[in-house]
Amino acid sequence: MRAHLSAIALTAALLSGCATSGELALTEEEEALAAELQSRSLAPATAEERAAIENQDLLTQAAFWAEAYELNPGDREAAVKLSNVLRQLNGAPRAAEIARQALALYPEDAELQTAYGMALVASGRGAQAVEPLSRAVSNTPGDWRLLNALGVALEQSGRTELARNRFREALAASDGEPSVLNNLALSLMLDGDPETAESYLRQAANRELAGPEIRQNLAMAVALQGRFDEAEEIALIDSTPDMARQNLDYIRALMSSPRSYDELRRAELEAMR
C-alpha cells in the first residue's frame, strides 16, 4: 500500500509540476509514466540496476529515477538522471526545478549545472540558462553539446553575436554536427540572412544523421528567398503535399505581414535545440 500511495504522490509531484496545477491535462507520455510508477515498488536500487536502466526506454528510465529520487531527494545521480529524462519527455519545467533543488546541495556539480541549463533552454528561459551553462562549459571545455546549448541560450536572450561564436566553437569541436549547423543557420535567418543560412543547412542536410527538421528548415530558408517551387520540392521529402503547401503559405503570410519578424523569430527559436 505504501508503495502504491507513494507512487501516486510522486506522480502528482513530477507530472503536474510540468505545468501550473489545473492548466494542462497529462500528456500520453506522462500518463504512461504515472502508470509505470504505480506498478513498481519503492526499494533502493543496486549499482548494477542503475547501470542497466540506461538501456531501457525513456519512460522506464523516468519511473526508475523517480523512485530513487523519492527515496532520497539528496541522491545526486538520481536528480541528474531524472532531470535529463524529464526534459526529453517534454517535462522541461519540472526538470529544471529538480536540478535547481539539487544544486542547493551540490552547487559546484558540473552535471547538475548542465542539467539545469539544458532544462531552462528547453523551457525557453535562455537568459536564466546562460549562467549555469557557462559554468558547465568552463568545467568541461570543448564539449560541443554544452557549447551548442549555450549558443541557444544566448540566442534566446537576444545576444546573437555571442550565440554564433558559441555555435562556431561547437562546430569546430563536433566536426560539423548537423544540429549545430542547424542552429547557426536559424540564427542567421533570424538576422535576415537566409542565403548564408541555406549554405549551412545544405551542409547539415548532407550529413548522415540529418533529420527531417533540418530539411524543413532548409525549405524555409529557400522560401524566404522567394524560391517557392524549389522549397516545396524540399518540403515534400518529409511531408505530404497538403502539409508542404500549408507550411509555404504560412511563410508567404509571414513575409507579407508587418509583424513577420516577430512571428518568424518565435518559430525559429522554437526550432532550435
Q: What's the one-letter identity of residue 259?
A: R
Give the domain 60-175 fold.
1.25.40
Burial of 21 (0-12, 13-18, 19+ CB in 10 A): exposed
Give the domain 176-273 fold.
1.25.40
- Domain residue extents for the chain: 60-175, 176-273
Average pLDDT, integer, range 126-131: 96
Confidence band (pLDDT; 50, 70, 90) for 182? very high
Q: What is the pLDDT of residues 233-263, one digit of tens each?
A: 999 998 888 888 888 887 888 777 655 556 6
Lowest mean pLDDT among 32-41, 46-55, 150-159: 32-41
Q: Which pLDDT belongs to residue 220? A: 93
Confidence band (pLDDT; 50, 70, 90) for 34? low
Average pLDDT, integer, range 132-157: 95
Q: Which pLDDT belongs to residue 250? A: 78
Phi and psi angles of residue 29, each rounded to the nearest 5 degrees, phi first: -65, -40
Q: Which pLDDT belongs to residue 257? A: 67
Phi and psi angles of residue 111, each rounded to the nearest 5 degrees, phi first: -65, -40
Domains 60-175 and 176-273 share a fold: yes
> Alpha helices, DSSP H only, in the chain?
2-15, 28-39, 47-52, 58-71, 76-88, 92-105, 110-122, 126-139, 144-156, 160-174, 178-190, 194-205, 212-223, 228-235, 241-256, 260-271
CA distance 124 to 90: 12
